[in-house]
């Protein structure tokens, strides 16, 4: 339990009022249209979505997770946090292609890239899965806040879960994405400032940077400062083979769409940027801030390690960065720290409330149920969906302890075998909806086999996760590549339309030739040149 003074409570009350108030201020903009409620009218300068990328990916459970890997592996644990580096290439490849498509969501993009029944099946699947995933993330992150409040105030877990998600929902319901983005901007600034202050305070408490280096040396643990301190090529719990796999997945994933679970939230930020250039820079700089923040956290965690080197219980040392704040900040600043934790928390909650509601409203309600819905109606459907997601997240959060391992498996299930298909759909004209759909279905069965069933019967050994990735990628390809070649290519007119709109990178020669034959590229060049 942490004791709060009057000044601490004042910080918290003021912050919540400013945050909710600033969100509600944009009520009039948010209600104008579906485009405003979900994409802020597609008119934002790069630094607004960039701050939202940063704020969204600074969740309540992030410092716990970063602390866990750094405390265990030292500074080399930073590579665990490097999965967001997919934005390095994405900023200049898939971000550009997606922004030019004008799709609201990834599910809609599937119907621009593919055609016919397969595309519709993909759209239905991706949108339904995204509604579920956002509700799951809301429950997961909400429960992390419940744990933080339990640690600070001794509250029951459900209090922290329900209280702060509900506060956040006020401005998301009122102003939609306008409220999300404006609140994210101020939350991002507050969160970044407090991460620097608390980390600096923690480093000072450990005696300063020089003391951390020398104490680790005295303990015989200087390798904890080495970012490349691996346990061997294939041996130990932190091998180089894992590192190479991680870099491969993270960096080359930027050529595709959906190679990271974060893509779906970033896709909304990409489409809300006013130009292709703004979209690219929002993704690049938002992620750069995330990576720099992770490094600041890492050194603060090393300070915590020097102060408390012998904690073996993961759930105890994972709270290390929070402990630096609550144990070492002076009275009056603790409330400011908690206000920042609220900022960190609700910036993530607001994004997933609005994102899940967008998939429901645009891809399910508008596309399948009521294509002629008015803009006013769509805004209201968006609000109802937001509310349903909020309530659903409470149930998920409260069930979370029992289902966590299943859901982590489900996330893994959704990622490994479709990593390459997510790239192929962007870079290869011949990859069709049936190939992509079959990769999802194949992965569903193969991941069970590789992760649980085959090792259980001793047919294959229990493999480390990076080896599972390569095996799933290979086995999946043995299914979706034949399916692709044995089914017809997408309709050429459909592909030409997509190509001229999006100008994708990769193997698109037959489509380009057809576009040139139709005179479309030539015509477009003339249109472009008229404007010079």
Partner 1 sequence: MAFIRRDWDPVHADEWTKEDWIAIVLSPLAYIFLSIGTGLSILLLPIGFITFSIGIVLTILMHYVIDPKLKMISSEYEKRQREYLEELERKVRWEKKNG
* Residue 224 binds partner 1 (CB under 8 A): no
* Residue 91 binds partner 1 (CB under 8 A): yes
The C-alpha atoms of residue 423 and residue 55 are separated, in whole angstroms, by: 27
HSE, side-chain direction, 13 A CA sphere, residue 157: 15
Rounded to a whole number of angstroms, the minimum distance from the CB of residue 6 to partner 1 is: 34
* Residue 67 binds partner 1 (CB under 8 A): no
* Residue 88 binds partner 1 (CB under 8 A): yes
* Residue 369 binds partner 1 (CB under 8 A): no
Cβ atoms 261, 244 nearer than 8 A = no
Binding residue for partner 1, selected from 159, 189, 296, 444, defined by CB under 8 A: 296
Binding residue for partner 1, selected from 21, 227, 236, 482, defined by CB under 8 A: 227
* Residue 3 binds partner 1 (CB under 8 A): no
In 3-state terms, the chain is what percent helix, strand and coil (to 5)?
80, 0, 20
Residue labelled with tokens 């630096």: 324
* Residue 295 binds partner 1 (CB under 8 A): yes
Q: What is the DSSP letter of 460?
A: S
* Residue 109 binds partner 1 (CB under 8 A): no
CA neighbor of 257 nearest in space, from 11, 498, 520: 498
CA neighbor of 192 nearest in space, from 58, 332, 298: 58
* Nearer of residues 212 and 339 to partner 1, judged by Cβ: 212
Contact range with partner 1 by CB under 8 A, out of 92-100, 139-147, 346-354, 432-440? 92-100
Cβ atoms 411, 405 nearer than 8 A = no
* Nearer of residues 91 and 143 to partner 1, judged by Cβ: 91
By the 10 Å C-beta count (0-12 exposed, 13-18 middle, 19+ buried), 188 is classed as buried
Contact range with partner 1 by CB under 8 A, out of 8-16, 23-31, 344-352, 512-520? 512-520
* Residue 497 binds partner 1 (CB under 8 A): yes
* Residue 240 binds partner 1 (CB under 8 A): no
Q: What is the DSSP letter of 428?
A: B
Binding residue for partner 1, selected from 16, 64, 85, 265, defined by CB under 8 A: 85
By the 10 Å C-beta count (0-12 exposed, 13-18 middle, 19+ buried), 34 is classed as buried
* Nearer of residues 151 and 380 to partner 1, judged by Cβ: 380
Bridge partners of residue 507, in order along the sequence: 428
Tokens for 91?
């900023």
List of residues contacting partner 1 (CB under 8 A): 34, 75, 78, 82, 85, 88-89, 91-93, 96, 100, 102, 104, 111, 203, 209-210, 212-213, 225, 227, 251, 274-278, 280, 284, 287-288, 291-292, 294-296, 298-299, 302, 362, 366-367, 371, 493-494, 496-497, 500-501, 503, 505, 518-520, 523-525, 527-529, 531-532
């Amino acid at each position: 339990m942490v004791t709060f003074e009057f000044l601490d409570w004042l910080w918290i009350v003021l912050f919540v009022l400013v945050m909710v108030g600033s969100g509600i201020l944009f009520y009039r903009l948010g209600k104008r249209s579906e485009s405003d409620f979900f994409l802020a009218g597609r008119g934002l300068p790069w630094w607004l979505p960039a701050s939202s990328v940063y704020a969204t990916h600074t969740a309540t459970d992030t410092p716990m997770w970063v602390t866990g890997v750094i405390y265990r592996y030292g500074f080399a644990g930073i590579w665990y946090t490097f999965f967001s580096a997919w934005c390095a290439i994405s900023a200049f490849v898939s971000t550009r292609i997606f922004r030019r498509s004008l799709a609201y969501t990834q599910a809609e993009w599937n119907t621009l890239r593919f055609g016919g029944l397969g595309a519709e099946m993909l759209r239905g699947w991706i949108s339904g899965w995204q509604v579920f995933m956002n509700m799951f993330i809301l429950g997961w992150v909400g429960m992390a806040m419940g744990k933080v409040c339990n640690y600070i105030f001794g509250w029951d877990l459900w209090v922290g879960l329900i209280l702060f998600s509900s506060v956040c929902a006020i401005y998301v319901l009122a102003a939609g994405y306008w409220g999300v983005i404006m609140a994210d901007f101020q939350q991002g600034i507050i969160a970044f400032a407090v991460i620097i202050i608390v980390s600096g305070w923690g480093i000072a408490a450990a005696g300063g940077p020089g003391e951390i280096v020398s104490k680790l040396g005295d303990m015989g643990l200087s390798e904890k400062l080495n970012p490349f301190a691996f346990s061997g090529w294939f041996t130990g719990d932190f091998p180089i083979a894992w590192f190479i796999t991680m870099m491969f997945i993270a960096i080359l994933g930027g050529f595709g769409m959906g190679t990271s679970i974060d893509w779906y939230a970033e896709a909304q930020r990409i489409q809300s940027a006013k130009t292709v250039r703004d979209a690219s820079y929002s993704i690049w700089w938002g992620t750069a801030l995330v990576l720099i923040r992770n490094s600041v956290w890492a050194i603060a965690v090393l300070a915590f390690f020097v102060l408390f080197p012998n904690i073996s219980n993961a759930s105890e040392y994972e709270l290390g960065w929070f402990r630096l704040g609550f144990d070492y900040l002076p009275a009056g600043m603790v409330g400011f720290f908690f206000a920042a934790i609220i900022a960190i928390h609700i910036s993530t909650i607001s994004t997933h409330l609005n994102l899940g509601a967008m998939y429901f409203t645009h891809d399910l309600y508008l596309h399948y149920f009521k294509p002629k819905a008015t803009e006013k109606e769509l805004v209201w459907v968006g609000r109802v969906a937001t509310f349903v997601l909020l309530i659903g997240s409470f149930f998920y959060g409260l069930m979370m302890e029992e289902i966590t391992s299943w859901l982590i498996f489900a996330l893994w299930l959704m990622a490994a075998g479709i990593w390459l298909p997510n790239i192929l759909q962007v870079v290869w004209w011949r990859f069709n909806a049936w190939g992509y759909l079959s990769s999802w279905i194949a992965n569903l069965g193969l991941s069970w086999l590789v992760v649980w069933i085959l090792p259980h019967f001793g047919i294959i050994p229990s493999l480390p996760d990076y080896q599972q990735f390569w095996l799933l990628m290979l086995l999946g390809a043995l299914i979706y590549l034949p399916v692709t070649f044995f089914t017809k290519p997408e309709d050429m007119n459909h592909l030409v339309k997509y190509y001229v709109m999006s100008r994708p990178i990769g193997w698109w020669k037959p489509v380009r030739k057809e576009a040139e034959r139709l005179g479309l590229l030539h015509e477009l060049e003339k249109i472009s040149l008229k404007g010079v």
